[in-house]
Amino acid sequence: MVAVKTMVEGGKATTGPPLGPALGPLGLNLGQVVKDINEKTKSFAGMQVPVTVNVIDPATKKYEIIVGVPPTSALLKKEVGIEKGSGNVKEKIAGNATLEQIKNVAKAKKPSLLSYNMKGAVLEVLGTAVSLGITVEGQSPKEIQKKIKNGEIEIGE
């Protein structure tokens, strides 16, 4: 089995690089593969999404497409509605998220995070918010992390 792994913009894969050169020699119908990838990734429009194309049987040209979850930073930026992080988190705030938005990102990323539970997943997403310069309900994400850890804020499962 041959596996081709790449990052594509949600819903906007093309037959050009990186997919075309990697899949072309395998004899697959590139147009159909790209159409299938775009269909599966359209909900991630505007974000880079990890995609793996597994060629199961080169003789019959049977393949499967596995779509990963975009990076936490990309999901956070989309949820908050910003183009990029602040670049200087000590002096500039890139955006403000609600705790509900942080939970939404944590739910989307939970299968690929190291956390065993929702509380841990939320704490991880808050860590990414720190590095992007995103505040949470007007407070530093580090402050929110402290409040979650000491029980002032309940996360639930």
Residues 40-67 pLDDT 10s: 998 888 888 899 999 888 788 889 999 9
Residue written as token pair 């393949």: 63
Residues 63 and 88 in one domain: no
Assign residue 48 the CATH number of its domain: 3.30.1550.10
Whether residue 18 has a cis bond before it, omega within 30° of 0: yes
Cβ atoms of 148 and 122 within 8 Å: the answer is yes
- Give φ, ψ of 5 to 5 degrees: -110, 135
**Which residue range is the domain that position 133 belongs to?**
72-150
Residues 60 and 101 in one domain: no
Residues 85 and 23 in one domain: no
Residues 57 and 94 in one domain: no
Grade residue 143 by pLDDT with cuts at 50, 70 and 90. very high
Note the pLDDT of residue 116. 86
What is the domain count for the chain? Answer: 2
Contacts of 154 (CB under 8 A, 6+ apart): none
Grade residue 127 by pLDDT with cuts at 50, 70 and 90. very high
